[in-house]
Amino acid sequence: MTSDLPISPELEEIDGKIQDIFRALQNGFQKLDKIKDPSRQTKQLEELTGKMRECKRLIKEFDHELKDQESRIQPEHNKQLNEKKQSMIKELNSYVALRKTYQSNLGNKRVELFDMGAGTSDPVTQENVKMASDMSNQELIDNGRKQMDETDQAIERSKMVVEQTVEVGTQTAANLKGQVATDKCIMFFLFLIVCGVIAIIIVKIVHPNDKNIRDIPGLAPPAGRKLLSLEALGN
């Protein structure tokens, strides 16, 4: 401990803060082992990372202060304080390595949790959904069920649209079929009428003096023309 060395109050204060952080890091990592929820583990690890950053800053401050006081400290004490600084750096590096190990393990757990929900995820229709790495097992299950329900509802809506489309198509085909049948009947009757007129005209040409043909409505000569013909014969 630096308390055994004749150092300035400034260095002693910085050292005290660093030692407090080391104790907090030790307790924090011990607590991390007891946490099972990945989201809580992530939060705890972030807090420990913040403490390590603060510790690194304090070690730099300790080194800076040590250099400022180097001329006023005996060489033997200066050597001991530099060794103390190196010990601080070594201890901090051990916590940094420990943090990397926890991060790696936590990353593997995140991948496993994400794979559990991969079959129910839909990146096109998601809205306000938390990342799988931040979810608990129950949250993943609930989110999966919700998306499955939404998928089922979308399928049902699609079925209704298809059924309505088929119904409209069937009705349209029936209407078109009826319209075509009506048009065929009309054309057939028109064809019969035209054929009848043509037949009458042909018979009229072949037998112009046939009284029965002349009496057919529409083919007999006008009454005025008939009277004129009689008058001409009388003269």
pLDDT digits (tens, 9 = 90+) for 181-209: 777 778 887 888 888 778 777 876 776 66
Distance (Å, rounded) from C-alpha 78 to C-alpha 72?
9
Answer yes or no: do 118 and 13 share one domain: yes
In a domain, 142, yes or no: no
Answer yes or no: do 171 and 71 share one domain: no
Q: Hey, what are 6's tokens?
A: 């004749």
In a domain, 83, yes or no: yes
pLDDT at res. 128: 46
Answer yes or no: do 128 and 15 share one domain: yes
| Number of compact structural domains in the chain | 2
In a domain, 91, yes or no: yes
The structure tokens 């699609």 sit at: 158
pLDDT digits (tens, 9 = 90+) for 32-63: 888 888 888 889 999 999 999 999 999 999 99
In a domain, 50, yes or no: yes
Answer yes or no: do 26 and 105 share one domain: yes
In a domain, 144, yes or no: no
49 Cβ neighbours under 8 A, 6+ residues apart: 99
pLDDT digits (tens, 9 = 90+) for 125-175: 444 444 444 555 566 667 667 777 787 787 888 777 777 777 877 887 777
Higher pLDDT, 210 or 10: 10
* Inter-residue contact 221 to 234 (CB < 8 Å): no
pLDDT digits (tens, 9 = 90+) for 114-137: 444 444 444 444 444 444 445 555
**Residues of the domain holding 194:** 158-214
The structure tokens 């083919």 sit at: 219
In a domain, 59, yes or no: yes
The one-letter amino acid at 166: V
pLDDT at res. 13: 93
Euclidean distance between the first and final Cα of the chain, in Å? 163
Give the length of the chain. Answer: 235
Answer yes or no: do 192 and 108 share one domain: no
pLDDT digits (tens, 9 = 90+) for 74-105: 888 888 899 999 999 999 999 999 999 888 88
* Inter-residue contact 99 to 58 (CB < 8 Å): no
Answer yes or no: do 26 and 117 share one domain: yes
CA distances (Å), origin 86, targets 55, 92, 93: 13, 10, 10
Answer yes or no: do 130 and 164 share one domain: no
State the number of CA atoms in the 13 A half-sphere of 97 facing the CB.
Answer: 6
Answer yes or no: do 117 and 168 share one domain: no
* Inter-residue contact 109 to 87 (CB < 8 Å): no
State the number of CA atoms in the 13 A half-sphere of 167 facing the CB.
Answer: 6
Answer yes or no: do 58 and 21 share one domain: yes
**DSSP code of residue 3:** G
* Inter-residue contact 42 to 106 (CB < 8 Å): yes
Answer yes or no: do 62 and 162 share one domain: no
Answer yes or no: do 130 and 58 share one domain: yes
In a domain, 226, yes or no: no
Answer yes or no: do 201 and 92 share one domain: no
In a domain, 229, yes or no: no
